[in-house]
Amino acid sequence: MSTAARRLPRARRIRSGLTYANLTSTLALILALATGGAYAASSLAPRSVGERQLRPGAVTPDKIRRSAVTAPKIAALAVKKGKLAAGSVGPSNLADAATTTSKLAIASVITEKIAPEAVTGDKLNEKTLGQVPSADVANRAAFAEAADPAAFAHIDQAGNIDSPSSRAIAAIHTPETGVHCLSVAGFNPRGAQVTPQFNGVSTTTAFVRIGGAALCPAPEVEIQTWSGGSKVEAPFFFVAYR
């Protein structure tokens, strides 16, 4: 500064140094300090702040207005399994018919997940069910078999099979008088019944024994017919049970 300038009064020196540029910049600085940057933010041009202007981690959950993130704002496939909070998706959040067969993981539906009485008869594949060891229906089935047995026969006086009145009898032989050994086709009988045929002359009785005897070894069925205390040849009816 020259000697002449130093001799000027102080106020006059300040006024002589003021310009439009430094006055404007000083006023802008004062406004920025006074408003904490609010003026600068409000003066930003529309769409002037984009992704590149944001620092990493600048947009935190507490900076997002409630309900600001709506479905159209979420990119496709953006919400993955790891992004869901535990228990955030409940039954009320699922759309009707949203959980389809293809959405279920293998072995995800276990016994504990099935409500009582949820699986009804029309949902069962009967071919996958094993035989019921003991049930009331099995008892009824036994009565049904008695009405239509799997194997039965009418044996005539000579010890021959009456084919039209017989079913599933493979063979018969007579090892001695009054003793007949029957072989059943398709299964080994667990039970049998024999009834002598009434001939109108004498009283005849009949006995049946499932195989194992010397005359009719297993799995044959032994039939004996008696009259007057002796074994006799007599016609009879026979039924075998599984």
Give the Cα separation of 184 and 118 in Å (integer): 45
The pLDDT, as a whole number, for residue 10 is: 60
Please state the pTM of the whole predicted model. Answer: 0.43
Q: Tell me the helix, strand and coil percentages in the chain, rounded to 5.
A: 30, 20, 50
Sequence-ordered list of residues with C-beta below 8 angstroms from that of 172, at least 6 positions apart, any chain: 153, 155, 159, 160, 161, 180, 181, 182, 183
The pLDDT, as a whole number, for residue 91 is 81
With beta carbons less than 8 A apart as the criterion, state whether 225 and 232 touch: yes
Note the pLDDT tens digit of each residue in 21-74.
Answer: 666 666 666 665 665 555 555 667 777 777 777 788 888 888 888 888 888 888
Mean pLDDT across the chain:
80
- Residues of the chain short of pLDDT 50, as ranges, are none
Residue 20: per-residue pLDDT: 64
Query: For 5-37, b where at least 16 C-beta lie within 10 A, e where not — what string?
Result: eeeeeeeeeeeeeeeeeeeeeeeeeeeeeeeee
The angle subtended at Cα 99 by Cα 93 and Cα 101, nearest 5°, is 175
And the tokens for 98? 């949203």
CA angle 189, 194, 199 (to 5 degrees): 155
pLDDT confidence of residue 1: 52
- Residue 37, pLDDT score: 52
> Where in the chain are the domains?
3-41, 151-241
Residue 127 CB-half CA count within 13 A: 0
Query: How much is the pLDDT for 141?
Result: 56
> CB of 242 within 8 A of CB of 189?
yes
Instruction: State the Cα–Cα distance between residues 36 and 197, nearest whole angstrom.
Output: 120
